[in-house]
Amino acid sequence: MSQLSFSSFDASLMVRDAQGRYLLATTDQILEAARQAIDHKLQRGASFSSPATVKEYLRAKLAGFEHEVFAVLFLDSQLSLIEYVEMFRGTINCASVHPREVVKEALRLNAAAVIVSHCHPSGNPEPSAADRSMTQQLKAALNLVDVRVVDHVIVAGNCTTSFAESGLL
């Protein structure tokens, strides 16, 4: 299982400070720049019908966090992006997810479908029993308001696990 490594980039990536001087970029600055780039590349209306596109987007958004982050891609009926929302933040090994809040946001955005995702800072992309249970609770809650759960993707560094591809959804 490989982890993200930025050691080979240290000498070549620079950022400009407030005084206009160029300094070596930190890992956090590199990750933030990647998140901004993916936001620019895939904006509202981008199609998320391809598993490869979903994984690329979510790796760029969630890899590198030192704590769990639970995010939702809110989609229209054609699986085009309405909005990406980081809904919950947790500790190094868990995040409390409240299905009620996900349902409220789906209704507010008039979403027809969602792809849920969270990161595993441990680097292990395998779903835990808690991950499986929470996914089923979310699926049941969203089903009540006719919002389809398309997938749940776990991001662990540059590795991902898709519930849909693994037959867990």
At 50-65, the pLDDT tens digits run: 888 899 999 989 988 8
Find the mean pLDDT for residues 45-52. 78
Instruction: Judge whether 164 and 49 are in contact, CB under 8 Å.
Output: no
Distance CA(33)–CA(27), nearest Å, equals 10
Distance CA(98)–CA(43), nearest Å, equals 26
Distance CA(68)–CA(134), nearest Å, equals 14
Statement: residue 139 has pLDDT above 80: yes
pTM over the 0.75 mark: no
Mean of the per-residue pLDDT values for the chain?
84
Statement: residue 97 has pLDDT above 80: yes
Distance CA(141)–CA(130), nearest Å, equals 16
> 122 in helix, strand or coil?
coil
Phi, psi of 167 (to 5 degrees): 75, 25
Task: Give the model's confidence band at 44: pLDDT under 50 very low, under 70 low, under 90 confident, else very high.
Answer: low
Task: Give the model's confidence band at 6: pLDDT under 50 very low, under 70 low, under 90 confident, else very high.
Answer: very low
Statement: residue 98 has pLDDT above 60: yes
Find the mean pLDDT for residues 128-147. 96
Statement: residue 69 has pLDDT above 90: yes
Domain 44-162 is found in CATH 3.40.140.10? yes
Statement: residue 40 has pLDDT above 60: no
